[in-house]
Amino acid sequence: MAVELDGNVRMRGDIGPGVAVRVLADRGRIRLVSGNELVGDWHVTQIGVNALNEGFNIKAEGEEFVLRTEDDVALAEEIGVAAASPRLARRLASRHNPEERALPEDPLPVPTSLGAIGLAVAGALILLGGTFLNMGDGVGPNAITGDPEANGFEFWLAFIIGGVLMIGIGFAMSIGMRIARVVAIAVLVGLITVFGLAIAGTEADNSRLTAYGFIAGGLVVGVTVLSSGSLRHPD
């Protein structure tokens, strides 16, 4: 199918916009018209045509000049010029694949397997912190005041259960369970709430600081994994 385009032509090496021309191309033949004057009329087999990043380098009748048009891709397709430049090649590919045109690509999501591993690591850290919290008291289960009789809430046990749940959720995600993300969010919110109560209601000492350090690290890893979207099941 013939194409008709606006363009400009200038001698190779000249500086400036060149001369405005009308470009007519049909079945391998190219004509350049400036006003009422015919600038050139050749078949591509009679001349040398090379694609540039912008436009074409043409050698004809002992002269060498640069032709630029409003649609270099259409001209290249019509006269059968190979896409010598990467830029023109991309534009040609885009022309034949409209859905792949130049919208910036979305960042690649973190693979689901890495999200599952991240949750398992978070759970292991929280589990380890809960274990240290229990061992650090030296008197068995610790409650909010350090006295197991003071109230019925044992923080070390809550963290151990939460850590085990996080590891389980990581496994569930690795086998493709869609509900894993929702459950992970609920468990993580609960653990963050318990962590806030625990650090507010106990006195700081070295053993507890170590335990809380592991727990805090696990919570940070869990929040990072969830906020990254790693657990969104691929559509």
Task: For the chain, give the DSSP string.
Answer: --EEEEEEEEETT--S--EEEEEEEETTEEEEEETTEEEEEEEGGGSEEEE-SSSEEEEETTEEEEEEES-HHHHHHHHT----SHHHHHHHHHHH-GGGSSPPPPPPPPPHHHHHHHHHHHHHHHHHHHHHHHHHHSSSS--TTS-TTT-S--HHHHHHHHHHHHHHHHHHHHTT-TTHHHHHHHHHHHHHHHHHHHHHHS---HHHHHHHHHHHHHHHHHHHHHHTTTTSPP-
Q: Running along the chain, 235 residues long, what does each successive block of 10 average in pLDDT? A: 84 82 86 88 84 83 87 78 58 57 49 78 91 66 41 75 90 81 89 87 70 90 78 46
CATH code of the domain containing 81: 2.30.29.30
45 and 116 in a single domain? The answer is no
Tokens describing residue 21? 């021309």
Identify whether residues 167 and 85 lie together within a single domain. Answer: no
Which domain range does residue 83 map to? 3-100
Shared domain for 126 and 54, answered yes or no, is no
Q: What is the pTM of this model?
A: 0.45
Same domain flag for 9 and 52: yes
Q: Is residue 233 part of a domain?
A: no
What are the tokens at 88?
């023109």
* Tally of structural domains, the chain: 2
State how far Cα 223 lies from the chain centre: 20
Q: What is the pLDDT of residue 124?
A: 92
Q: Is residue 82 part of a domain?
A: yes
Query: What per-residue confidence (pLDDT) applies to 160?
Result: 92
Q: Which of 67, 100, 133 is the last residue of a domain?
A: 100
Whether 105 is covered by a domain: the verdict is no
